[in-house]
Each structure stands twice: as structure tokens, then as C-alpha cells.
Structure 1
């Protein structure tokens, strides 16, 4: 696919909130939303899409997806957890996210986790995932071109895109299902 490198650029893979992006002072909700909008603007599919809204944050708080807020301000820990929620919601239900993060929230409350270190580990894995994704996308595009060539169609570019979309959705579903099974294991371990 000729436009593969442009596609990779358009999806803004490197957009993450790093620890250096999080102020050391607590933020009000509007400031949190602004931080996320600024950082993830390139990740939006269109201009009308919202990265984060007050309703989303309130629902996360009501659903106890993160530790309680103090004085309507969000600490560095809250911002890390909201960032994790933002990343997880692309592939998991809110209930699965809650089940996944419950253990982290408990460790924060008990003082048993260095959340910044944990988040840096996540960011490190994320950077490696991006590199793997770029290589995998090129490989899948190449395989798609090979399959389309077998079809001898008069509009191969269109079929190539359709097959690549189907292939990417398929692999995405496989990864999501694997993640859901891991969430099920987390839930089962908590219940026993």
C-alpha cells in the first residue's frame, strides 16, 4: 500500500500522556479535559469527537474507576488513572476496566504501589507495541496485496483497502478477546 506511511502518521501512535506532561499541582476538571484534548487532539477521528468530557470523568468517578477525588481537584495519580482508562476504553467495557483497575486503586489506597513507576512501565510497553505495530501493519499490507493479486480484479486498490480493513478488525478482535479473558482471570482471582 503506497499510503501506508501516511496512514501510520495520521493515527498519531505516539500520543501519550507522559509523567513529564502531568503538572505537579492538582488540576480542576476543566484543566484535566484541556490537558487530554491538547495531548490527544491528533488521535481524534474528526473535529467533533471529544477525547474526554465532564460526563465521562463524572461517570468514571461514580463507577469508582479511580480513587476518590479531593476538593474537586485531580492529582497526578488521578491523571495517570484517567490516562489508563482512556487507553483501555478503546478495547474494553467500563465494567472490564473497573475490574482491571480495582487492584491498582486498592494498592494506591494502601500505599503498596509506586504508580508512577507502574505507569512508566506501561509507557515503555506502549512504545515497543508501536514499533511492533508498524512492522505488523506493513506485513499485513503486503499479505493483503498478495491476496488481491490472486483476484485479478479491475479495481485492486479498493479491494486491497477493504481486505486490509477486514484483516485489521479481525486481529483487533483477537487481541480484545485475549484481553477480556485476562480480565476474567483477574475477576476470578479476586473472587476466590
Structure 2
């Protein structure tokens, strides 16, 4: 398989909206969309895919995934929440995202919780997860190469890629299931 570092770089997993990327002034919806498009552009599979649209933001607002905006402007806290929603919705249902963020939204509004500290931890953990993924991918590629040695075929490269896709999907499913179990725990606590 091609160089792992090149493969990881192509995936652009380090695309995160950092606190430094978020302006210290409130933004209109079009500005929010532009910020997200420029930050997460490398994660799109093709040119037609949209990172964030007005409809998505309106649906998040109507679904109460983040607390209401004021004067048609989105605060720094809103942008952090939307960035978290963007990442969470890749693996969880919108209802699970709402359940997960319900108490956080309440804390921000009612307790003046300083979201920036939590968000910084979130970004740092994402960076650590990416490093861990690189290590796990290297091991998985070695395992696939070892397993595929037993498959006598002219299409050995394809078979290795197939086994990698299947392995990546399995890992993704395991992590998603773990996340869903954690959401269920949060939901139980929210109901109390």
C-alpha cells in the first residue's frame, strides 16, 4: 500500500475549526457557511458536496441542536457547537446529536458555562485520536498484507484494498456503536 503518511495526508483528518479560526465577533449565516466551507473543504468527497448549508443550519436551529441566536447572528459559542454538530453527525443520528448536546446547550445558556475550554479539549482530543488512528492504520495495513499473502491472485492489490475497506468499516461500526451506547447513557441521565 502507498505510504501511510501520504494516505493520511490525503484524508485531511486534521481539518478542525480551531478557536483561533473563529472570529471574536458574531457572524451572519452566509459568513458561517463560508467559514465552514473553507475550513472543511478538504473533507468533501467531490465538488458538489456541501459542508454546511442554510437549510442544515435552519434544521439544527429548529431541532434545538444549539440554543437560539440573537439578531440573526451566530456567536463564537454557536460556531463551536455547529463545528461539534458537523463532526458528530458523521456518525450519529441528528436525534443522538441533540441528546448529546442538550445539557451542554443548557449549561451555556443557564450557567454561563465557558464553552471555549471544553471546545479546546475537544480539538486536542481529536488531534490525539488522529495520531492513534495513524498507528492503528499502520498495524491494520500490516495485518491485511499478511492475510492477503494466502490469497493467490493477480488482483492482490485490489484484494488488499477490499480487506482494508472492510476493516475500516468494521472499526467505524465498533466506534459508532460505542458512541451510541454513551448517548443512551446521556439520554437516561437527561431524563432524570
Q: What TM-score range do you get, normalising by the shorter chain?
A: over 0.9
Alignment of 1:10-25 (within 5 A): 10-25=10-25
Separation in structure 1 between the aligned mates of residue 132 and residue 3 of structure 2, nearest angstrom: 19
Query: Which residue does 1:116 correspond to in 2?
Result: 116
Query: Which residue does 2:104 correspond to in 1?
Result: 104
Query: Which residue does 1:138 correspond to in 2?
Result: 138
**TM-aligned CA deviation for residue 9 of structure 1:** 1.0
Separation in structure 2 between the aligned mates of residue 25 and residue 154 of structure 1, nearest angstrom: 59
Give the length in aligned residue pairs.
192
**TM-aligned CA deviation for residue 148 of structure 1:** 0.6
For residues 16-61 of structure 1, the C-alpha deviation after alignment (integer angstroms, 9 at most, x for no partner) is: 0001101111000000000000011111111111000000000000
Separation in structure 2 between the aligned mates of residue 171 and residue 18 of structure 1, nearest angstrom: 27
For residues 103-153 of structure 1, the C-alpha deviation after alignment (integer angstroms, 9 at most, x for no partner) is: 100100112521000000101111100100011111111101111111122
Give the TM-score, by structure 2 length. 0.98
Q: Which runs of 4+ in 1 moved over 6 A?
A: none
For residues 53-79 of structure 1, the C-alpha deviation after alignment (integer angstroms, 9 at most, x for no partner) is: 000000000000001011110000100
Separation in structure 2 between the aligned mates of residue 166 and residue 5 of structure 1, nearest angstrom: 21
Query: Which residue does 2:50 correspond to in 1?
Result: 50
RMSD (CA atoms): 0.9
Separation in structure 1 between the aligned mates of residue 67 and residue 79 of structure 2, nearest angstrom: 11
For residues 135-173 of structure 1, the C-alpha deviation after alignment (integer angstroms, 9 at most, x for no partner) is: 111111110111111112221100000000000000000
**TM-aligned CA deviation for residue 175 of structure 1:** 0.2
1:160 aligned onto 2:160: yes
Query: Which residue does 1:81 correspond to in 2?
Result: 81
Unaligned runs of 5+ in 2: none
Separation in structure 1 between the aligned mates of residue 106 and residue 178 of structure 2, nearest angstrom: 24
